[in-house]
Amino acid sequence: MNHSDSKPVALTGDRPTGPLHLGHYVGSLRNRLALQETHRQFIMIADLQALTDNIDRREKIEQNIRQVLLDYLAVGIDPNKTTIFLQSAVPQLAELAFHFLNFVTVARLERNPTVKEEIRQKGFARDIPAGFLTYPVSQAADILAFNADVVPVGNDQLAMIEQTNEIVRRVNACAQQAVFRECTALVGSQGRLPGIDGQAKMSKSLNNTIDLRSGNQDISRAVQKMFTDPNHLRVSDPGRTEGNVVFDYLAVFDPDQTGLAELAQQYRRGGIGDSMVKGRLNSILQTLLEPIRNRREILESNPKELVSILEKGNIKARKVADHTLSQFKAALHIGHF
Ligand code: TRP
């Protein structure tokens, strides 16, 4: 066993349905940057999961695979430390998911709160693609194929981790041996970043995001549009900082939290205008996103390098997943005769 094998394993993924945004950055990308120093990390571009509700929009998925890869590399995910791979390039994951379906009931799938909420949002009613209803099982295969100890995700993914661990217990009970071990979710310490409109979640479909690739003007415009306190009309009025998106963001991104606490106090008393706090946030976000955008531009100019990074990752991932799949089948005597 070499040194890297003794490190705990981290695995996570994103559906390539759109560019990654500040919500991803706060909720999980920052954790991944730290984990690549301490863990054996795998990051998967979940194109098959994205197809479960986008089979007629394959072009969108195709284009976003490259965008998400660029987002990873631009924020500093290092392919020498982290294995980045494409879900569809590792067919062992699909086979493992197929076996796992025997360890889950339809009733349990219908109870998953994240999937339930998505079904409501997408207006599927009873016309749910079976692939969509079962994607948490496929996600369990993604996680368990790599024997992940930790899964850095946003808090909307906690339900998936719970369902994964149920599958672990069922498989182990059925095989009467410890085929898999349970995993732990690692949610960003800041929790969830609200959308610029004040809705609880930053999401592409709600059109309230700040993307990591945003230009100067996109950032300023988004900050301008941010929801503050609708009753804070004049500078002299006392303002609410609670439920005020600008202050929510400052709490996450402002490096000077002491200065921020004073500013918030003054804002609540009255005498501080929205334009002043927005200016402060704007310059903080510009400083954060500029180097990310610059790295992205350099990477974009070398498409061959991008392809090679992903292909190398795919090869490594297939090897690991293949090993796990064989062990699983051996433990359950599947395919023996
Ligand atoms: N469900 C995740 C998302 O919505 C993507 C994903 C797929 C994932 N497989 C995973 C996340 C495994 C963590 C672990 O973006």
Q: Show the tokens assigned to 58.
A: 């394959």
* Confidence (pLDDT) at 330: 97
As to burial, measured by CB atoms within 10 angstroms (0-12 exposed, 13-18 middle, 19+ buried), residue 131 is middle
pLDDT interval class at 52 (50, 70, 90): very high
∠198-282-265 over CA atoms, to 5°? 70
What pLDDT, on the 0 to 100 scale, is given for residue 1? 44
Mean pLDDT of 161-178: 98
Share of the chain above pLDDT 70, in %: 98
Q: What mean pLDDT is reported for the chain?
A: 95
pTM given for the model: 0.93
Atom 14 (ligand 1): residue with closest C-alpha?
12
Pocket probe mutation, ligand 1, options 9, 39, 45, 157, max atoms within 8 Å of Cβ: 157
Residue in 24, 29, 67, 139 to alter for ligand 1 test, most ligand atoms within 8 A of Cβ: 139
The model's pLDDT over 259-304, given as tens digits with 9 standing for 90+, comes to 999 999 999 999 999 999 999 999 999 999 999 999 999 999 999 9
Query: Which residue lies with its CA nearest to atom 13 of ligand 1?
Result: 12
* CA dist., res. 29 & res. 118, Å (int): 22
User: Counting atoms of ligand 1 from 1, which one is nearest the CA of 46?
Assistant: 7
Q: What is the pLDDT of residues 124-134, one digit of tens each?
A: 988 999 999 99
Which residue lies with its CA nearest to atom 6 of ligand 1?
13
Task: Identify any residues that bridge with 151 across adjacent strands, giving them in sequence order.
Answer: 185
CA of 109 to the centre of ligand 1 (A): 16
pLDDT at 204: 85
Tokens 């903080």 -> residue:
284
CA 136–ligand 1 middle distance (angstroms): 9
Atom 10 of ligand 1, nearest CA residue:
13
CA distances from 20 to 14, 203, 214 (A): 9, 10, 10
With b for 16 or more beta-carbon neighbours within 10 A and e for fewer, the 38-70 pattern comes to ebbbbbbbbbbbbbbbbeeeeeebeebbbbbbb
For residue 152, list its beta bridge partners: 186
The reported pLDDT for the residue numbered 5 is 65
- Residue 279 CA to ligand 1 center (angstroms) comes to 35
Q: Is the pLDDT of residue 3 over 80?
A: no
What is the Cα–Cα distance from 193 to 277, expressed in whole angstroms?
Answer: 18
Pairwise CA distance, residues 59 & 65, whole Å: 10
**Ligand 1 mutation pick, 9, 11, 14, max ligand atoms within 8 A of CB:** 14
3-class state of residue 163 by DSSP: helix
* Residue 86 backbone class (left: φ over 0; alpha: ψ -120 to 50; beta: rest): beta
Whether the Cβ atoms of residue 145 and residue 325 lie closer than 8 Å to each other: yes
In this structure, the residues whose C-beta lies within 6 A of any atom of ligand 1 are: 11-15, 44, 46, 49, 139, 142-143, 151, 153, 157
Mean pLDDT over 245-256 rounds to 96
Model confidence at 2, in pLDDT bands (50, 70, 90)?
Answer: very low
> Three-state SS for 177?
coil
* Distance from residue 244's CA to the centre of ligand 1 (Å): 30
What is the 220 CA–ligand 1 centroid distance (Å)? Answer: 31
- Kindly report each contact of residues 51-59 with a partner whose C-beta sits within 8 Å and lies 24 or more positions away, as own/partner: 51/131, 52/129, 52/131, 52/132, 52/135, 52/138, 53/118, 53/122, 53/129, 53/132, 54/17, 55/129
